[in-house]
Amino acid sequence: MTERGQKLDGKVVSAKIREEITREVHKRAKEGRKPGLALVLVGDDPASKVYVNMKQKACEETGILSRIDRMPADSTQEQVLQRVREINADPDYHGLLVQSPLPDALDEDEVVRAIKPEKDVDGFHPYNVGLLALNQPLFIPCTPLGIIEILKHYELDPSGKNVVVIGRSHLVGMPVSLLLARKAEWANATVTICHSRTQNIGEITRSADILIVAIGSAEFVTAEMVKEDAVVIDVGMNRVDDASKKRGYRLVGDVAYSEVREKASWITPVPGGVGPMTVALLLKNTLLAEELMRT
């Protein structure tokens, strides 16, 4: 019988990738090259602030140049677009990302379209999404790529498997579905996408050999929605009020971890699963951006 509840440890896998990145950055430094990543943060969303700071810290630890442009919540669309254009033109920064979500008054789609596709390390620009859909990827979004890297590390090949994705966001659900359905190594899956209008969702999720959950709803997936011995990937990161914690909340995923781990063969914890992978793959995409700029 397959062992239950084995941990897919994003900390271990991301540390390995970050070591490779550090070595590559040192190698390029000897050639006078320094990859750079510019991060744009608009407004005061507390989670976004944490993520952007984490990304900058990861750059510092691996030797990648970084900057954070913090813009006030009442910035105009034109001010944000102008900042993006400035960074597009700055040769020291090969990667550029605008942290999502933007304040409600701003048009996020237009901002993403303003990013130079060759600097779009998030892989969110329509050009990069189109290339992924056509199986000619340039930049692949970091979280979906991180999920593939976890599966690879633990030798869990999705080829021919039923993969069910809950969530159709541009950040995760849609690109991870495209990625896994491709004719490619560590892909070739039969992919089903579930979302808020899906009927009988449990029936569909119980058919999953690999279940990927990215809806931003705390502990949405319960044990009865999961097939025995399934692989469960939890992309959620939800703050739940908890007076017993110093900061007043705790972080939980989209999966009810303690009950689902009894049924799953492999499962990502939250935190320490997909989260650290996203950051590691962002650094890797930044190295790719620097490489692209030379050619």
Nearer to ligand GUN, 171 or 210 (CB): 171
Stretch that binds ligand GUN, among 66-74, 98-106, 217-225, 257-265 (CB under 6 A): 98-106
Shortest distance, position 112 Cβ to ligand GUN, whole Å: 9
24 binds ligand GUN (CB under 6 A): no
Please confirm, yes or no, whether 122 is among the known catalytic residues: yes
Please confirm, yes or no, whether 152 is among the known catalytic residues: no
Shortest distance, position 12 Cβ to ligand GUN, whole Å: 21
254 binds ligand GUN (CB under 6 A): no
Q: Which of 11, 30, 34, 55 is catalytic?
A: 55
Question: How many other CB atoms sit within 10 Å of the CB of residue 91?
Answer: 7
Identify the bridge partners of residue 249 per DSSP, sorted by sequence position: 241
Q: Which of 9, 57, 92, 99 is catalytic?
A: 99
Q: What angle do CA 291, 56, 218 make, to 5 degrees?
A: 110
- Residue 93 · residue 119 · CB < 8 Å: yes
Residue 221: closest CA among 280, 66, 233, 6: 233
97 binds ligand GUN (CB under 6 A): yes
Mark residues 45-64: x for contact with ligand GUN by CB under 6 A, - for none: --------------------
Identify the bridge partners of residue 255 per DSSP, sorted by sequence position: 221
- Report which DSSP code applies to 140: P
290 binds ligand GUN (CB under 6 A): no
For ligand GUN, the binding residue among 62, 66, 99, 285 (CB under 6 A) is 99
Long-range pairs of 253-257 with CB within 8 A, sequence gap ≥ 24: 253/213, 253/218, 253/219, 254/166, 254/213, 254/214, 254/215, 254/216, 254/217, 254/218, 254/219, 254/220, 254/221, 255/213, 255/219, 255/220, 255/221, 256/219, 256/221, 256/222, 256/223, 257/219
Question: How many other CB atoms sit within 10 Å of the CB of residue 86?
Answer: 13
120 binds ligand GUN (CB under 6 A): no
For ligand GUN, the binding residue among 22, 100, 192, 207 (CB under 6 A) is 100
Nearer to ligand GUN, 4 or 11 (CB): 11
Amino acid in position 283: L
Tokens 């550029």 belong to residue: 96
Q: Which of 119, 120, 122, 284 is catalytic?
A: 122
Please confirm, yes or no, whether 44 is among the known catalytic residues: no
User: Which residue numbers are catalytic?
Assistant: 55, 99, 122
Which residues form the interface with ligand GUN (CB under 6 A)?
Answer: 97-100, 122, 142-143, 171, 278
